[in-house]
Structures are given as C-alpha cells and as structure tokens.
C-alpha cells in the first residue's frame, strides 16, 4: 500500500494542533516527522512480505529448512514467543533500511498476528489503548529513549507526537473543524436535549465555549446543535488505517480481542454469537456500522472487535448451532 508522505503529515497535523507551527526545526516537528518516516519504514516491512521471509532474515538458520519444516519449528513457539520473533524480524528489516529501533520499541505500532489466517496486521497509532499499553512497558519506552537520543529529539516532544504525553489530551481538545461523535450513556439524555439528533451521529465542530465547555456542532440532521464537551467524543484522525474490512463484508466477534463487550464502541453483548453485515465505515475513529439480522439499526463497533467472515462460514456456523440446539432438545426429552 503506497502512502503519500504529505497526506500522512497533514493527518498528523490535524491530530496534534501544534505540529508544524513555527520554524521547521522545532523539536516537535522533528519528532513528528521522524515518527511518520519510521511508520512508513515499518509498514514497508509488513505489506507485501511473507512472515516466513521476515523471520528467515532475522534467523538465518531457518532458511536451511523447507517451508513445511519451518512451520513445524515455529509451531513449537508460544504466541508470546512468536510475537517476540516477529518484533525482532521487523526491527532487523528496519535497521537495514537505516532506522535503528530495538525490537521492544516496535510494540507501540500495534503489530499483531491474525492467528486464524496466520498473517500480520498493522494497527499503526490508531488504537490509543494499544499505544498506552505498550508505552507502560518499560523496555518499549527505553527503546524509544535510545532512538530519540540518537536523533537529537526532545523526549517530551516525542511523547506528544505519539499522542502519549500527559498533557496531550488538553492539546487535542475540540476545536473548529474537528469531527465529533455524540456519545451519551444509555438511559441519559444530552444536557440541552436531543433535538433532531440520535446517539452515534457524527458532525463538525463550529464553535467552542471554553468557559462553559459547550460545543456547537453541525450535524447532517441538525445544524448548530449545542451540547456539553463531555457528550462529544473527538474522532481524531489516526495516522494510518490498515483494515481488511469493507462495506458489504460479513463480520463476527473477534475471539482474540479482550474486552470486546466493554469500553468505547463495544460489540453488543447480546449479539456475541451473531454475524452481521458492514453497512458503513468511519475511518476517523476506526469504527464500523454493523447491521445484524432482526435489528432495525446498525451498531457502531470498534473494527478491532470484528473479524471478517464469509457467507459459507456463516451458514456452517448457523447449521452447527441448529444441530447443537436440536441435540439439547433431544437430550432433554430422553431425560424425561
């Protein structure tokens, strides 16, 4: 996947208001520019390259074995060990391209493996929870400290460019032109009423009252709607979007993701075994609108909680559940 550098920097500028302001050599600009460059190098290590190829470069002895023998060897590793090997492989590929970042530092980019399809997935910096979880890991931060020092980058500026500095939330406060989503807890109502709005609607910020924390937003269904800033979630632009899911695809719950029924944009708990169809995609916050059978409205769900499936697989799952249900009924009748 080819990425336009100017487009990436523009997205980063929208995510971090201070980026690019002032002279060209301010620490934040240097840090952000280097991070963008680093991410592009990382992506080039993943896209279009087989996992086996990356691993063979990192562990030359593996190249002496046939592909099926390599699979047998790698199958003896635990998933954590396998991910450690993947990080080492990507790190070595990056070092070859001139970017010296130790394997532990790779975690911040949310690189994972789809264990069903045995392929690499690249989440970039899109998922805040993944960034912060990696950053709380000491070796990850140490790897970045060493990298920042070698590039003469102020570490606080680097944290800010990654969206991890403590005060970055304030700097990423809502401003005119931002896209926001209305998000009110179930059973509650907006402080000034719903108007023509409904939960989950996305609009553009037109005015911000810092004294009262009120935000005026233009939605498709109503212009000039005003609400509290706490009711509006900033759908900040991720630097990269890497998703295999498209409109029209069938999706099911991703069993590899923890906390799928909690947090922002969870998978509906009552529909944990259901398969839905993707009706829309919001690339700004990494969510998908999924329509389930017998449901009137689609649910907005974080794309990381969803896994692409096929109609054949959906039919097989349905047939299996029907058989299990019939078996349970038969067993109940025999007991009586």
Out of 132-141, 213-222, 282-291, the most confident range is 213-222
Per-residue pLDDT reduced to its tens digit, 223-233: 999 998 888 87
Distance separating alpha carbons of residues 290 and 280, to the nearest angstrom: 7
Architecture in CATH for domain 243-336: Roll (2.30)
The percentage of residues in the chain with a pLDDT greater than 90, rounded to a whole number, is 9
pLDDT averaged over every residue in the chain: 74
Query: pLDDT at position 174, please?
Result: 58
**Mean of pLDDT values over 205-229:** 86
Class of domain 174-234: mainly beta
Q: Are strands 276-282 and 287-291 parallel, antiparallel or unpaired?
A: antiparallel
Average pLDDT over residues 229-244: 53
Where b means 16+ CB within 10 Å and e means fewer, 103-114 reads bbbbbbbbbbbe
Highest mean predicted confidence (pLDDT) among 27-36, 133-142, 299-308: 299-308
Domain ranges for the chain, please list them: 5-170, 174-234, 243-336
**For residue 284, what pLDDT is reported?**
60
Are 254 and 307 spatial neighbours (Cβ–Cβ below 8 Å)?
Answer: yes
Least confident of 58-67, 160-169, 283-292: 160-169
% of the chain with per-residue pLDDT over 70: 76
**What is the predicted pLDDT for the residue at 162?**
79
CA-to-CA distance for 162 and 165, rounded, in angstroms? 8
pTM of the entire structure?
0.44
Asked if residue 176 has pLDDT above 80, the reply is no
Please determine, for residue 305, whether its predicted confidence score (pLDDT) is greater than 70: yes
């Amino acid at each position: 996947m080819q990425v336009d550098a100017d487009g990436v920097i523009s997205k980063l500028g929208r995510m971090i208001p201070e980026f690019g302001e002032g002279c060209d050599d301010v620490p934040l600009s240097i840090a952000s520019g280097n991070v963008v460059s680093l991410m592009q190098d990382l992506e080039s290590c993943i896209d279009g390259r087989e996992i086996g190829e990356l691993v063979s470069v990192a562990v030359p002895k593996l190249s002496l074995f046939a592909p099926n023998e390599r699979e047998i060897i790698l199958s003896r590793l635990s998933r954590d060990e396998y991910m450690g090997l993947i990080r080492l492989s990507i790190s070595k590929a990056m070092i070859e391209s001139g970017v010296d970042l130790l394997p532990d530092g790779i975690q911040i980019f949310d690189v994972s493996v789809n264990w069903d399809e045995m392929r690499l997935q690249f989440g970039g910096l899109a998922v805040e929870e993944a960034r912060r979880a990696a950053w709380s890991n000491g070796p990850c931060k140490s790897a970045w400290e060493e990298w920042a020092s070698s590039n003469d980058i102020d570490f606080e500026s680097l944290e800010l460019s990654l969206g991890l500095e403590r005060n970055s939330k304030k700097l990423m406060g809502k401003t005119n032109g931002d896209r926001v989503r209305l998000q009110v807890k179930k059973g509650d109502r907006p402080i000034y009423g719903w108007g023509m709005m409904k939960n989950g609607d996305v609009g553009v910020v037109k005015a911000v009252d810092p004294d009262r924390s009120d935000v005026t937003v233009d939605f498709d269904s109503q212009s000039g709607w005003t609400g509290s800033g706490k009711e509006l979630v900033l759908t900040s632009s991720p630097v990269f979007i890497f998703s295999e899911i498209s409109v029209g695809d069938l999706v099911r719950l991703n069993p590899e993701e923890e906390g799928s029924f909690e947090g922002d944009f969870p998978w509906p708990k009552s529909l944990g075994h259901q398969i839905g169809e993707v009706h829309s995609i919001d690339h700004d916050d990494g969510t998908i609108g999924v329509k389930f059978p017998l449901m009137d409205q689609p649910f907005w769900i974080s794309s990381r909680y969803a896994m692409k499936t096929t109609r054949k697989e959906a039919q097989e799952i349905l047939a299996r559940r029907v058989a299990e249900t019939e078996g349970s009924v038969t067993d109940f009748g025999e007991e009586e």
